[in-house]
Chain A
C-alpha cells in the first residue's frame, strides 16, 4: 500500500497542521511516513505545498514523483489545480471552495470550480461555513482533514485522537471546535 498526498494552500492556512495530524495518525498505525514541509519565504501569503507520503513499505524520496499522488487535498480552490501533474490517473482532488484572492489576476471563482469539478475524481467542500458552524473559521483545515478521512489509509478514531492531542494545549473549547469541524468535514464528504 502506498498513499501519496499533495497538501496545497496559501501561507497561513494551516497546511502544516493538516499534514501533522494525518502524518502522526499514520505513524501511530504503523505506516512508514515521510512528510516534507515548506517553511520560510512562501509562508508569507504565497502558494504553499507539503508532500506527505504514507506506505506499508520503506519510503525513499521525501518528494512525491509526478503522476503518483492518490490525493490532492487543498485548502484553496485555485491551489488545488496547481499540482495536477503529481496526481495519478485515478487520484482524487478535494478542495475547499473558499478563495484567497490575494492576487490581482485571480480568475473568476466559477471557472476555477468548474475546472475542479470537471476532473474525474473531485470533491468541493464549503469548508469555511462548516467550520463556522462548528465554532470557528480557524478550524477550516480540520474540516478538510475530515473531508479527506474516508480516503485516508488511517482509522477515523486515530485522527480524532490526534486532533485532541495537537489542540490540547489551547484549551477544551478549541479541542471541541476542531473535533466538530473534523466530523462535519467527514459528513460532508459522505453526502
Chain B
C-alpha cells in the first residue's frame, strides 16, 4: 500500500492520473488552482498526461469534451463561479452520449474567502442532471475521483466532483491504488448523439431522463452515502460534505448518539432519506453550502410530522462556512471559550497590493488623470487589481465577474456618462475581456480601457498568461481598436507624469481608446529570480 500526503486538490489530481487520464484543462481560480498545477508539474516530471491552462473555463470544458468524444478520459477544473462561465458546454454535455470519462472538478468557496459569491455547485449538478460526488476527506477525494470516471463511462454523462475550500486546501494522508491504463482513442459510432440539433437533442434529453432511474439506483447504493442508527430517540442528523467532520468532532460531547445519515453522492438518495427520517421527530441538517437537501426534505415530509432544523429554520446560520463551533451550537452543546483579553481591540488587516506593485502606479495615474472629472466612472474586474477598491487607492467602483469591467464601461458610456474607464488585468482580459471589447469597437464607444499587464495570473499564484505580454498589443489591434488611440506604456513610477498625460488625453477623446500598462508582477519577478539563483546554487 502506498500512502501519500496530499492537498485535497492534489488527491483529486492524482486520482485522475491513476484513473487513466489523458488530458486535463482548466483556468486558475482559488480554491481549485492546485489541481491542475499538480498535473502540470507531474507532466513536466513524467512527460504526461497532458495538462494545460486554457483561456477560460468554457474553452477548457470544450477541450475536455473533445477528449471525451475521442474516447479518452479527461478532467476539467475550475472554481465554482468558473462553472458559470462554462455553463453552456456543461449543461449541454449532459445530453450528449459521453464517450471517454469526463469529470468536472469544481471547488466551491463557502464563506467567500477568495470569491464574489458562495454558490453551491451541487445545485448546478442537479440542474444539469448529472451525478455529483462530494468528498469529506482526502481519501474520499481520491476514491470518488477514480470512481467518477467509471460512473461517467457507465452512464455516459459528465460527473462532478464538488470540493470546498477547507478540503481543497487542507493536507491529509491518502492511500493510493494501482494506476489504470489510458483508454485508446476510439470514436463512438453514434456520432448523431453529439449533434444537438433539436430532433437529436429531444431524443438525447429523453434518453438521459430514461437512464436517470438507473443512475438514481446506482447512487442510492453508493458506499459514499452511509446511515447509522442512533440512541437519541427521535433525533437524527443528516450531514453533507465537510459538515460530517464537524459533527464527528462534537460527537463525544453529546449525551446520546443521534442517528446519522451522511450524503456524499448525488442525486441525493430520496428513498434513503425518507426511510431515515421516518422514525424521527426531529432532524438537523448540516450542509457545507446551501440548504440543498434541507429544502428538498421540506418538500417531502409534512412539517407537522417532523421538526426539520437547518439553515432555513435558523438552527444553522443561513450563509457562510460551517465550522466545529457552529455545528456545536446547532447540536445544542454549550459553547467552548478561548482566552479573552479584556479591552483588546485589534485593527483588521485586509489584503492589499504588494509594496511596489505595478498596479499601484497605474491607479495613481488613473486617479490623477481623472481628478478633473468628479463624475467619471471607473469599472474594474477580478484579480489583484480589485484591491484598487481599498485604501489608499479607492480608485475603482465595480467588480462583478470576469470581464465585466469592459461591458459595464460600454453600458455606462451608452447611458450617458463621460469619461468612463474600465480597468482589467491581462489574464482577465484574455479570459473574458476580448469579446466585450469587440462590442465597444463595433460601436466606437467613448470609453477608455486600461489593461494592467503584469505578465502573469497574479492572484492565484503566478500562472503564465495564455498570450505573452508582447503579443497583447497585437491582440487588441487585431480587434480593430484604432491605432492612434492604442498606447502601450510602462507602469513605473518614473513614467508617472507621461502616463497620466496620455490617460488624460484619451479619457477626453470621444471614442474608444485602450492603454496597456506593462510591468511584471513583483511576486512573479521575485519567484523567477529565486528559481534562477536556486538553479545556479545547485550547479
Contact = CB atoms under 8 A, between A and B. Distances in A.
A85 B351 contact: no
Given A39-B33, A103-B349, A67 B337 contact: yes
A80 B246 CA distance: 25
Nearest to B168: A39
Interface in B324-357: 324-325, 328, 335-341, 344, 346-355
Contact of A66 (B172, B338, B461): B338
Contacts of A11: 351
A147 to B, nearest CB: 19
A108 interface: no
B398 to A, nearest CB: 17
A164 to B, nearest CB: 15
Interface in B16-75: 30-31, 33-34
Given A44-B387, A61-B246, A27 B341 contact: no
Nearest to B384: A44
B537 A61 contact: no
A62 B335 contact: no
Interface in A77-109: 78-79, 81-89, 91, 102-107
B186 to A, nearest CB: 39
B162 to A, nearest CB: 16
A183 B33 CA distance: 35
Given A44-B351, A44-B353, A84 B340 contact: yes
Contacts of B537: 170-174
Interface string A158-189: 00000000000111111000000000000000
A57 to B, nearest CB: 11
A165 B524 CA distance: 24
B346 A81 contact: yes
B461 A62 contact: no
Contacts of B341: 81, 84, 115, 118-119
Nearest to A45: B352
Nearest to B336: A67
Contact of A43 (B173, B340, B351): B351
A36 B352 CA distance: 22
Interface residues of B, number: 54
B354 A42 contact: no
Contact of B336 (A45, A63, A65): A65
Given A41-B113, A42-B351, A46-B350, A35 B170 contact: yes
Contacts of B7: 37
Contacts of A12: 354
Given A65-B324, A78-B346, A34 B538 contact: no
Contacts of A65: 249-250, 323-325, 328, 336
Contacts of A85: 337-340
A91 B338 CA distance: 9
A68 interface: yes
B352 to A, nearest CB: 5
A10 interface: yes
A24 B171 CA distance: 10
Given A81-B341, A103-B347, A169-B534, A60 B246 contact: yes
A47 interface: yes
Contacts of A174: 534, 537
Interface size class of A (residues with CB under 8 A): 35 or more
Contacts of B34: 39
Contacts of A67: 336-338
A84 B343 CA distance: 13
Nearest to A60: B248
Give the residue among B166, B173, B339 with the most A Cβ atoms within 10 A.
B339
B460 interface: yes
Given A67-B336, A67-B337, A171-B534, A38 B346 contact: no
A173 B335 CA distance: 49
Contacts of B161: none
B256 interface: no
B254 to A, nearest CB: 13
Contact of B30 (A39, A64, A84): A39
Give the residue among A42, A60, A115 with the most B Cβ atoms within 10 A.
A60
Contact of A60 (B171, B245, B347, B387): B245
A68 to B, nearest CB: 7
B529 to A, nearest CB: 12
A131 interface: no
B324 A105 contact: no
B534 A170 contact: yes
A33 interface: yes
A63 B169 contact: no
Contact of B171 (A23, A40, A78, A91): A23
A102 B347 CA distance: 11
Contacts of A115: 341, 344
A32 B5 CA distance: 11
Given A24-B5, A46-B349, A67-B338, A37 B169 contact: yes
B351 A45 contact: yes
A85 B323 CA distance: 14
A37 B336 contact: no
Contacts of A35: 170-172
Given A44-B353, A66-B325, A102-B352, A39 B169 contact: yes
Nearest to B138: A34
Interface of A: 10-12, 23-24, 27, 32-47, 60-69, 78-79, 81-89, 91, 102-107, 115, 118-120, 169-174
Those 3 A-B pairs whose CB atoms lie nearest each other, nearest first: A171-B537, A40-B30, A40-B114
25 contacts: A23-B5, A34-B172, A35-B170, A36-B170, A38-B169, A40-B113, A42-B114, A45-B354, A47-B349, A61-B323, A62-B242, A63-B323, A64-B324, A65-B249, A65-B325, A67-B336, A84-B339, A85-B337, A105-B347, A106-B347, A107-B346, A119-B341, A169-B538, A170-B534, A171-B538
Given A40-B460, A42-B114, A60-B249, 14 more contacts: A33-B171, A39-B169, A40-B114, A41-B113, A42-B113, A44-B351, A45-B349, A46-B351, A60-B244, A62-B245, A64-B324, A65-B323, A66-B324, A67-B338
Interface of B: 5, 7, 30-31, 33-34, 113-114, 166-167, 169-173, 242, 244-246, 248-250, 323-325, 328, 335-341, 344, 346-355, 384, 387, 391, 459-461, 530, 534, 537-538
